[in-house]
Structure 1
Amino acid sequence: MSEDLIAVIEEQERRLVFPRFDETDAWALGSLLVGLATGRRLPIAVDIRRGEQQLFHAALPGATADNDAWIARKVRVVQRFAASSYLVGRRLAASGKTLGADLGVDPALFAAHGGAFPVRVNDAGIVAVVTVSGLPQADDHALVVEALETFLAKP
């Protein structure tokens, strides 16, 4: 099961690549995520950042400051390991490892839990991270993937 899930997430990361990504795209993608979550009454926070610059942030009803802390921890995983936080976590679980000192990271600052996804641009690599926090990790990840698929399907 875990190998199948890992293969699915790896395929998502290969497929969900942008031709370009700027501040306008961040606003549109973040707004799309907020629209999906609002329609479903999901208690989440949404964040898109390029390096240290926060391009988009929204906290919906039911989200708390704790969601912002989780976002920061998930983003660090994507930035450190160049993969979605869910993929990193599933790979670690499959190998019987945890995120910690043996990997050179402080688990208080890093969280390999689903919800943070790399924004990859063709011929440029990872340029940003889009993150959702507030749901179980598989659901956080699925919501981000749904939004990316919808966004990238637009002409």
Structure 2
Amino acid sequence: MGETNDVTALVAEVEEQERELVLTRFTHDDAWQLGCLLVELAVERRLAVTVDVRKGPQQVFHAALEGTTPDNDSWVQRKVRVVERFGASSFLTGLRARAKGQDFNAQHQLPLQEFAAHGGAFPVRVAGVGIVGVVTVSGLPQAEDHALVVEALRIHAAGGA
């Protein structure tokens, strides 16, 4: 019972983050600045992560920091596919399946090697437009990947990036 309550509370928290983090615009320059901000945060904290920012289908920013591997690039791709297909963060999508006691990939009959509903990919939404891109971090435990992206989006939305 405790696990279900915890997951349900986390689903509500992440849904609120997605409602909160809606930008007024998202240009190529914004994508670059957001990517640079994520790299700065990761370097300051000595985090081995891969950062990826897309505007539409175009990859505008990509950086793999020391300690990452090509596997992180695979995780980025698989998380991005989840956001693009389901219109929600990869963390939220996985949590929703877990809240129902289901495995995401089995629930949707999707191969794990193509879709990963693990934290780290977050939809970039613009007010009045909808989802215009995806920002992704890979390399930390999934809740930490997600939290780093949320932190950077909050800073960026406040005009700090």
With the length of structure 2 as denominator, give the TM-score of the two structures: 0.93
Whether the 8 Å contact between 1:43 and 1:61 is mirrored in structure 2 is: yes
For the pair 1:124 / 2:124, whether they are aligned, the reply is no
Q: In structure 2, what residue type is equivalent to 1:19? A: T
Give the structure 2 partner of residue 31 of structure 1.
36
1:150 is aligned to 155
The 1-side partners of 2:107 and 2:44 are apart by 42
For 1:60, the equivalent position in structure 2 comes to 65
Please report the TM-score for the alignment, with normalisation by the length of structure 1.
Answer: 0.96
Runs (4+) of structure 1 moved beyond 6 Å?
none
Structure 2: state its 5+ residue gaps.
1-5
Segments of 5+ residues of structure 1 without an aligned counterpart are none
**Deviation of residue 102 (structure 1)?**
4.1
After superposition, give the CA deviation of every residue in 1:47-85 in whole Å (9 maximum; x if it has no partner). Answer: 011233101000111111000000000000000100000
* TM-fit CA distance, 1:101: 5.0
Bigger mean CA deviation after superposition, 82-91 or 101-110: 101-110
The question of 1:47 aligning with 2:43 is answered no
Q: How many Å apart are 1:99 and its aligned residue?
A: 2.3
Q: Secondary structure at the match of 1:154?
A: coil
Superposed CA offset, 1:82-123 (max 9, x none) = 000000011001101112254142221000000000000001
Q: Residue 86 of structure 1 contacts residue 138 of structure 1 at CA under 8 Å; is this kept in 2? A: yes
**Which amino acid counterpart does residue 98 of structure 1 have in structure 2?**
D
- Paired residues in the alignment total 155
Indicate if the aligned counterparts of 1:84 and 1:116 stay in contact, CA closer than 8 A: yes
Deviations 1:114-152 (A, max 9, x none): 000000000110000000000000000000000001111
Q: How many angstroms apart in 2 are the aligned matches of 1:149 and 1:29?
A: 10
In 2, the alpha carbon distance for the partners of 1:108 and 1:146 equals 28
**Root-mean-square deviation (CA), in Å?**
1.1
Partner of 1:99: 104
Q: Is the 8 A contact 1:99 1:107 kept in 2?
A: no
Who is 1:83 aligned against?
A: 88
